[in-house]
Amino acid sequence: MTEDELAALEKRMIELAKKNSEYIRKEMPKAEAVSYFSQKNDEYKLDLLSNLTDGEITFYTQGNFTDLCRGPHIPNTGFIKAIKLTAVAGAYWKGDEKNKQLTRVYGVTFPSQKELDEHLAMLEEAKKRDHRKLGKELGIYTMSDDVGPGLILWMPNGTVIIEELEKLAKETEQEAGYKRVVTPHIAKESMYLTSGHLPYYADSMFPPMEMDGEKYYLKAMNCPHHHKIFDAEPKSYRDMPYRIAEYGTCYRYEQSGELFGLMRVRCLHMNDAHIYCTKDQFAQEFKAVNDMYLKYFKIFGIDKYIMRLSLHDPEKLGQKYVNEPALWLETEDLVRKVLIETGVPFVEVKGEGAFYGPKIDVQIWSAIGREFTLATNQVDFAQSRSFKLSFTNQNNEAEIPLIIHRAPLGTHERFIGFLLEHYAGKLPLWLAPLQVKVLPISDKFLDYAKLVSDKLKKADIRSEVDDRNEKIGKKIRDTELLKVPYMLVVGEREMNENKVAVRRQGKGDLGVKGVDEFLADAVSEIKERREE
């Protein structure tokens, strides 16, 4: 199928929708379902059925078409008033490059043409904001076949953003009483067996390396290393809560078909930390982590968000989840109470918890309404036992700590991808790789432009001079395309009066200011991390 065929397909879909055909749901025993698709020689549905059991299988019929589907559906096709098929793409079955490649047709329907038009307008805006496009145009990151898929090479501009985010995280965490640690990129198999990650998480880890008769794995998560740091020295109740943080590098084997720009990668840098606390301290510590999220939301202008409280599935204890039913219920209730008491918007989702405890997935929406999973805030009641972690309580008895896993800024990769799309590449001054560009009207004013730029650099403002032999109009247009927050145009008047003509990205001419006045304003804007 090609994109040229989509218009005819849309037309036929509208004709069918007008028939108001009902969607009829029917539960089907596995044996009967297998027989149905065996007669049709449908290898794909048979593959799906192999992982399903009786009670999980439903068929839907619409008109003369019947198929395996989980549902739910709208009552009938009459609700469909507007259709747009948006793209055709190749897709490996189940996202695995070892499987056959199929054709996937993407499309949307809405109950009115107006809603469809609004959605399509949002998609067009999203194309302009695509972090992969902006990442290339702005020199943020690159990738190479020689390095490997899903492995990001951060260019100088991207590295500036990383360092600014790390600086923000370190300042915030220092104020909150965290201590910083650094851990290796690999570890022995025995540690991941102790943590439980190998039994539950092996498919997401790179294969082991054999050295000196031992198996070593690339680090897929920081927590086991942090547990070893906690256990390195005796702890008492006076040391609790014990908070340690690291921008740790982790490696995860994502399927090739699932890799996507900065959003799904194989090497990631995580704004990770672990809090070891008593049960009495848990509510305050968990609330403090949520407050940290809210602080970051305010800085980055994130107005819409929701917390997804991911719970265990009692039917999968011992398979997908640690088999501690009483601890699951107790810990989930602790988290639920904190969310209710703090008034944070949240929803509960069964069967999406981590294997060692409940977690919160933080869902945020960008400026154009696109949804992202930013980070997680997880509670762990299992690994303290696995690693035999303890502290001495006030009664001089050994007590097991609760552990909070948290990463408010998620990974550099995902969060920078979000920010590029959220700001359409027009990053706030404090975060912009190049903050100011000085534009001399002609070569006669080049020396003055360099003096202005040098003064800005001494105040730790990232500045450059456009010393090309081009007209000022072209210099301004080119700098706008690079999305530099400030342009300082200098000519004879500015040079004679020690001033600069200030232009702001997206706002145009802001008038003439003294160099020192502009410098003070810019330093203040950067220090306060204002959006503008």
pLDDT per residue over 294-336, tens digit each?
899 999 999 899 988 888 777 777 666 666 777 778 888 888 8
Question: What homologous superfamily does CATH list for 436-527?
Answer: Anticodon-binding domain (3.40.50.800)
When the pLDDT of each residue in the chain is averaged and rounded to a whole number, the result is: 92
Q: Residue 395 burial (CB < 10 Å; 0-12/13-18/19+)?
A: exposed
- In this predicted structure, what is the pLDDT of residue 319? 65
Share of the chain above pLDDT 70, in %: 98
Is domain 3-124 classified as CATH 3.30.980.10? yes
Angstrom CA distances, 298 to 131, 472, 497, stand at 22, 37, 39
- In this predicted structure, what is the pLDDT of residue 360? 85
Distance in angstroms (rounded) separating the CA atoms of residues 312 and 318 = 11
Distance in angstroms (rounded) separating the CA atoms of residues 409 and 115 = 33
* Domain ranges within the chain, ordered by starting residue: 3-124, 141-422, 436-527
> Tell me, what amino acid is at 96?
D
Helices (H), 203-324: 223-231, 279-299
Helix (H) or strand (E) holding 377: strand 371-380
Q: What is the pLDDT of residues 144-187, one digit of tens each?
A: 999 999 999 999 999 999 999 999 999 999 999 999 999 999 99
pTM beyond 0.85: the answer is: no
At residue 355 the predicted structure's pLDDT band, cuts being 50, 70 and 90, is: low
Total residue length of the chain: 532
Retrieve residue 295's tokens: 């602080």
**Tally of CA atoms within 13 A in the half-sphere of 104 that contains its CB:** 11
In terms of Cα–Cα distance, which of 247, 200, 185, 220 is closest to 357?
200
Q: What is the CATH number of domain 141-422?
A: 3.30.930.10
Report the SS3 class of residue 476. Answer: helix
